[in-house]
Structure 1
Amino acid sequence: MTIQPPAPGEPRRPSGPRDPGDAWVIAPTGERYWGRFGAAGLLAVDAERGILLQHRVGWSHHGGTWALPGGARHENEDAGVAALREAREEAAVPPDAVRQRFWSVLDLDIWSYTTVIADVIKPFDPQIADAESVALEWVPVDEVADRPLHPAFASAWEHLGPLLSVRPAVVIDAANVVGSVPDGWWRDRAGAAGRLIDRVSGWQARGVDANALGLPGAHWFPAVAVVLEGQAKGAARPADESGAGIRVVLAPGEGDDEIVAETQRRIGGGEQVVVVTSDRGLADRVSDAGARVVGAGWLLDQLDARA
């Protein structure tokens, strides 16, 4: 592998200092890949308008084709941060307008490309923000393949397109999870529940390993509902749901009944639900509703691994 800076007429920022990541990686067989530290792109999904595509300027790599806003990662830059940064620089995508759903990673050892699939939560109109775009358009999902696509994106779209209908969710029986660890939770149920919510929020925000959810891809950012009952309801946040996708559900009565209702609501909305509980009776009820069940230990192992 060798590193080669851009030649005249090849991708570079139109102004300002060049980042060390803005260089070609040359494989021993001669193939060239843009981004010394890898690259990332944003696949923004608007439920009404479709996918945000960029018509690439002629002098760019595979110019004249359609692809995603994206580019070279900076050194030690998180792939999600890189994709959002590039989307802002190339298409003026507001960082708070999208919520990450999952990552798909092409890893070639010498180079990697991460596609960050994100749902639009605040509608916006993209704007050409640098010299790398001829046009930016929202393209309906069923029309994407009709465009002359960048070869790498065309290959990726074959498996990414079908995954756009996958929407995982995790419903957590907080009383069961907290009660599985004898750490004195009974002296302060609200405090113990609050600590669990904080840990779960960090776990979800950093991305959940796809294998743990039984899904393809690299990392997923599932919607999460933490169900609280009794004294633990004192851990509820002022806002019902954070931007990271954590929802705190307060059970008006029995927590089990609320967990079943939350599970049924999400499955009815098309989500693929994993319920976290070691209660056998509750596990049977949510399984009958169509959910996958994992024990409290599954979640605790996930939280410990991310700590």
Structure 2
Amino acid sequence: MTIQPPAPGEPRRPHGPRDPGDAWVVAPTGERYWGRFGAAGLLAVDPDHGVLLQHRVSWSHFGDTWALPGGARHEGESASDGALREAAEEAGVPGAAIRPRLLSVLDLGYWSYTTLVGDVVESFEATISDPESHELAWVAADDVARYPLHPGFAASWEQLRPLLEIRPAVVVDVANVMGSVPDGWWRDRAGAAEKLIRRLATLADRGIAAAALDLPEHIWFPEWTAVVEGQARDAAGASGVDVVRAPASGDDAVFAATVRLVAEGRAVTVVTSDRELAARTSALTPSTVGAPGVAVRGVRWLLDLLG
């Protein structure tokens, strides 16, 4: 699916004052890189349409090539925020439609480019909203390399393409985690569970280093599922965390959530120190559910991540 540019005479996105980040960085060897504070772009992945590419206008750097919506970061702006802002400005991508999956960083010391790989969770119509694009197109992942790509994107695509098959998820046995810390949680089980869920939401927002998940070296944003049971079922949820309220056995609910996620192709990590539950979930293998197996981590793993 291709999105054509506005017809002549149609209004384009107005440009405000130039941001301090809109400047070239010159390498010691003379190459120029756009973005005083680095640059960032969005690799939006739609399960039905492919990945969103931008056909760059002729006058741009490496013009007439295809790359990702992106550009210079603003001062003090995170890479994720910069990628989403640029994608909104250049392609009309609504931030709420994207769920971050990973951050890939090219750091040259004097300049960096960060690619945010994000899953499209709400369909949207990409729209050319500034003069930097000839067109926008959803391209099947297997067809991307056939396009005349921007050299920087071409190099990163070789590394990013295999990662599109990895979709991490973490299932947390909330009762087991709470029970490991003697902080009086038993006096208010719902309140203690709510506090833990809020902390998980913070972790979901900032991401996890690859080493913690045994994944390729990037910052990953797994899907978080918190399973609550008993009196803790009344705990409020938080953005970025799917709360499963077990109708009966919490262990059964953890197992069921794990089976569902693994069957959907997720690389699942279960957080529990319950030996019986750990044995049940770790026994889920490709032969039993038709997808990758399960890693089990003890409660200390999660507490260390929470810091």
Moved over 4 A (4+): none
Between the aligned residues of both structures, percent identity stands at 62
Query: What's the CA shift for 1:37?
Result: 0.5
| Residue 300 (str. 1) matches residue 303 (str. 2) | yes
Contact 2:201 2:239 in 1 (8 A): no
Partner SS for 1:44: strand
Aligned to 1:80: 80
User: In 2, distance between residues paired with 1:203 and 1:232?
Assistant: 21
| Residue 249 (str. 1) matches residue 252 (str. 2) | no
Contact 1:54 1:133 in 2 (8 A): yes
User: In 2, distance between residues paired with 1:169 and 1:14?
Assistant: 40
Structure 1 residues 42, 217: CA separation in 2 closer, same or farther (over 3 Å shift)?
farther
Unaligned runs of 5+ in 1: 1-12
User: In 2, distance between residues paired with 1:55 and 1:183?
Assistant: 56
Alignment partner for residue 261 of structure 2, among 250, 257, 266?
266
- 1:147-194 C-alpha deviation (Å, 9 max, x unpaired): 000011001000101111111000001011011110001111111101
Task: Compute the TM-score of the two structures, normalised by the length of structure 2.
Answer: 0.91
Query: What's the CA shift for 1:243?
Result: 5.4
Query: What's the CA shift for 1:234?
Result: 1.4
User: In 1, distance between residues paired with 2:210 and 2:304?
Assistant: 15
User: In 2, distance between residues paired with 1:151 and 1:187?
Assistant: 59
What one-letter code is carried by the residue in structure 2 that aligns with 1:280? R
Partner SS for 1:128: coil
User: In 2, distance between residues paired with 1:36 and 1:221?
Assistant: 27
What one-letter code is carried by the residue in structure 1 that aligns with 2:179? G
Query: What's the CA shift for 1:16?
Result: 2.7
Contact 2:54 2:137 in 1 (8 A): yes
User: In 1, distance between residues paired with 2:70 and 2:139?
Assistant: 17
Query: What's the CA shift for 1:236?
Result: 4.2
| Residue 109 (str. 1) matches residue 104 (str. 2) | no
User: In 2, distance between residues paired with 1:228 and 1:14?
Assistant: 48
Aligned to 2:7: none
Query: What's the CA shift for 1:232?
Result: 1.0
What one-letter code is carried by the residue in structure 2 that aligns with 1:122? E
Query: What's the CA shift for 1:14?
Result: 7.4
User: In 2, distance between residues paired with 1:215 and 1:33?
Assistant: 29
User: In 2, distance between residues paired with 1:88 and 1:277?
Assistant: 39
Structure 1 residues 243, 165: CA separation in 2 closer, same or farther (over 3 Å shift)?
farther
1:200-239 matches, within 5 Å, as 200-237=200-237
Aligned to 1:5: none
Aligned to 1:62: 62
Partner SS for 2:165: coil
Aligned to 1:8: none
1:21-100 matches, within 5 Å, as 21-100=21-100
User: In 2, distance between residues paired with 1:140 and 1:15?
Assistant: 32
User: In 1, distance between residues paired with 2:71 and 2:295?
Assistant: 37
Contact 1:14 1:131 in 2 (8 A): no
Query: What's the CA shift for 1:218?
Result: 2.5
User: In 1, distance between residues paired with 2:123 and 2:71?
Assistant: 23
What one-letter code is carried by the residue in structure 1 that aligns with 2:294? A
Partner SS for 2:128: coil
- 1:63-102 C-alpha deviation (Å, 9 max, x unpaired): 0000000000011101110001101111111111111111
Aligned to 1:10: none
Aligned to 2:5: none
What one-letter code is carried by the residue in structure 2 that aligns with 1:296? V
Structural RMSD (CA):
1.3
- 1:83-141 C-alpha deviation (Å, 9 max, x unpaired): 01101111111111111111111111111100001111111111111111000011111
- 1:171-230 C-alpha deviation (Å, 9 max, x unpaired): 001011011110001111111101000100111012122221111242111111101111
What one-letter code is carried by the residue in structure 2 that aligns with 1:301? D
1:267-286 matches, within 5 Å, as 267-286=262-281
